[in-house]
Amino acid sequence: RPYVDYLVSEQNVKNIFVNGTTGEGLSLSIQERKQLAEEWVRQGKDKLDHVIVHVGALSLPESQDLARHAAAIGASGIAVIAPFFFKPTNKDELVAFLQKVASEASGVPFYYYHIPPLTGVKIRVEELLDGIREQIPTFQGVKFSDTDLLDLAQCINKNESEQFAFLYGVDEQLLGALAVGANGAVGSTYNYLGRKTNLMLQAFAKPDHALAQKYQFLIGEFLNFVIKLGKLYTALVPSYILKCRLNAPEILLLLYPQNFLPERFHNEKLLLMQFPELIAAGSSKGADQASLDRTHSHFLPSAAKRASKL
């Protein structure tokens, strides 16, 4: 609950994308994913606008099970990633998989989670969307986590009448996505950079493009700096900035070197010196949350065109 309070009051983030990439959904057991989804829905009641649960899995029955569970607990929507071991090779195969999952949660808004850099599934979203609602009546939009802004722009241009939500997922390129019509964002940094990103959205909506560009450059510089510190530290940056306890990422638990903690404290000092205006957003309000102990992606509706239809 303190983490939810922090997101709402400190970062103006009121929408959560649970068990996605940042939340390590695909590294968790089915039971763990269900427990996290239940807790986010429970803790976010009356405080969060939307809790979208990612239910994608390599196994179709598991994905269907997660979809039924998300519907039963009252999730605002579900999202599905393309299976990425035995990959769909064309639009029809991918749509068939998505439809079989969506049908298990009838009435729940459905989102396709497009992230080809990780899945290797490079079926263009523009092609996927052609006639999609005939197959999936609950289809609501796309979490578009790719740098192909041409594909995104064509999706938006050709589907304006459908009022789909196009939620961009590459934080360092959000301003470019807004320029071609993205109406929201789901990213890995908004739990601690949400306030700055909201300022960028407000500047874009005015429009004050020079100010929006300034915020995007600042966020980009921060991400570039942190990434250079290495994956181990990058994964723990939210814990430092939020000043609340988040578990170490499961996928990296066995990789920590013996000298990691001394290096971490050194890198924290570097962060503070380099980006005081961003680090100052940290808060102690999220002190000790036991159940919400994993970083998740957070959805920011665009100030220019809010996706209130979610």
Our answer to whether residue 228 is catalytic in this structure is no
Our answer to whether residue 190 is catalytic in this structure is no
With beta carbons less than 8 A apart as the criterion, state whether 301 and 194 touch: no
User: Which residues, 6 or more positions from 210, have their beta carbon under 8 angstroms from its beta carbon?
Assistant: none
SS3 148: coil
State the catalytic residue, choosing from 113, 168, 215, 233. Answer: 113
With beta carbons less than 8 A apart as the criterion, state whether 306 and 50 touch: no
- Which is it for the CA torsion 25, 31, 35, 38, positive or negative? positive
The DSSP code for 188 is: S
Q: Which residues on neighbouring strands pair with residue 77, listed in sequence order?
A: 52
N-to-C CA span, the chain: 23
Please identify which residue in the block is written with the tokens 């969506």.
102
| Residue among 120, 124, 184 nearest 154 (CA) | 124
User: Is 220 buried (19+), middle (13-18) or exposed (0-12) by CB count in 10 A?
Assistant: middle
State the catalytic residue, choosing from 3, 6, 112, 143. Answer: 143
Residues taking part in catalysis: 113, 143
